[in-house]
Amino acid sequence: MLTDQSVITLGKSVFWLFFILGNISMIGYIISKNDEFAVGGFMLLIFGSMINLLIVAAILVYAWIDIHRRSACMKAVMIILINIPIAILYFFIGISILTF
């Protein structure tokens, strides 16, 4: 059985994992101009979005099953969803950098 803190820790861990990977891709490309960082960043955007969506869906299902953890699950989902505007911003930055 998960505790409230473990559910929130899961959300934070997923957020930081994909945030750090996105930063590595973006900064790696800006510093090195190596196209592999850009390709990796766009692949991360595609597959990371799917993985994050699956994790959010799993947490929401868990919140539906265990109503006592619903508040912690919603906090975890909100933490993960912070990555959406960041990913959109990085997408537009990446597109603008690649067109120069």
**DSSP 8-state assignment for residue 3:** -
| pLDDT score of 84 | 92
1 falls in which pLDDT band (50, 70, 90)?
Answer: confident
Give the burial class of 29: count Cβ atoms within 10 A of its Cβ; 0-12 exposed, 13-18 middle, 19 or more buried: buried
User: pLDDT of 13-30, one tens digit each?
Assistant: 999 999 999 999 999 999
User: pLDDT of 40-93, one tens digit each?
Assistant: 999 999 999 999 999 999 999 999 999 999 999 999 999 999 999 999 998 898
| pLDDT score of 100 | 65
One-letter amino acid identity for 95? Answer: I
| pLDDT score of 96 | 87
For residue 87, what are the CA distances in angstroms to 19, 20, 43, 79, 80? 8, 11, 12, 14, 12
Q: How far apart are CA 32 and CA 50, in angstroms?
A: 28
Q: How far apart are CA 40 and CA 6, in angstroms?
A: 30
